[in-house]
């Protein structure tokens, strides 16, 4: 079964600090995504990647960086965490058949910035 693992599951960070969220998939998928979930907004795409060593901006990339060092791993980096980045973050992966693909999600990381 498809598997996407996120770490940590929850984190408390201080304003201005650096935060790294990690994601690992064992699906052999080319595409990986980072979404954030906020009440009243559903999920919004931050960054995505379709190949190692390359990342693309999603709909809300400001304040976030992404890194894809290998096919299996995809990280989301908050260089200077802010209060507005308090949210639940989901990583997902999918195959390469375009928009028909099913996304497989991790369990999420709950980030609180204080």
Partner 1 sequence: AQSVTQPDARVTVSEGASLQLRCKYSYSATPYLFWYVQYPRQGLQLLLKYYSGDPVVQGVNSFEAEFSKSNSSFHLQKASVHWSDSAVYFCALSPTNSAGNKLTFGIGTRVLVRP
Residues at the contact surface with partner 1, assessed by CB under 8 A: 4, 31, 33, 35, 40-45, 48, 50, 58, 90, 92, 94, 96, 98-103, 105-108
Cis peptide leading into 63, omega within 30 of 0?
no
Pick the closer one to partner 1 by CB: 17 or 92: 92
Q: Supply 24's token pair.
A: 């690992």
In the complex, least distance from residue 44 CB atom to partner 1, rounded to whole angstroms: 7
Nearer to partner 1, 18 or 41 (CB): 41
Q: Which two tokens stand for residue 65?
A: 């960086």
Q: From the CB of 35, what's the least distance to partner 1, in Å? A: 8
* Shortest spacing between CB 30 and partner 1, in angstroms: 8
DSSP annotation of 77: E
Q: How far is the CB of 80 from partner 1 (least distance, A)?
A: 26
3-state secondary structure of 81: coil
Q: Which is nearer to partner 1, 14 or 51 (CB)?
A: 51
Measure Cα distances from 38 to 2, 52, 92 in Å. 25, 28, 17
**Residue 103 carries which DSSP code?**
P
Judged by beta carbon, residue 15 or residue 102, the one nearer partner 1 is 102
Instruction: Report how far residue 107's alpha carbon sits from residue 104's, in angstroms, rounded to the nearest whole number.
Output: 10
């Amino acid at each position: 079964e498809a598997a996407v693992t996120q770490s940590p599951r929850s984190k408390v960070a201080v304003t201005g600090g650096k935060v790294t969220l990690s994601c690992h998939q064992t699906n052999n998928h080319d595409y990986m995504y980072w979404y954030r979930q906020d009440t009243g907004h559903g999920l919004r795409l931050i960054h995505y990647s379709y190949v190692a060593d390359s990342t693309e901006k999603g709909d809300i990339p400001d304040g976030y960086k992404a890194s894809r060092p290998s096919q299996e791993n995809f990280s989301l980096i908050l260089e200077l965490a802010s209060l507005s980045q308090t949210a639940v973050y989901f990583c997902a992966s999918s195959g390469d058949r375009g928009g028909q693909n099913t996304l497989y999600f991790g369990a999420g990381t709950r980030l609180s910035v204080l």
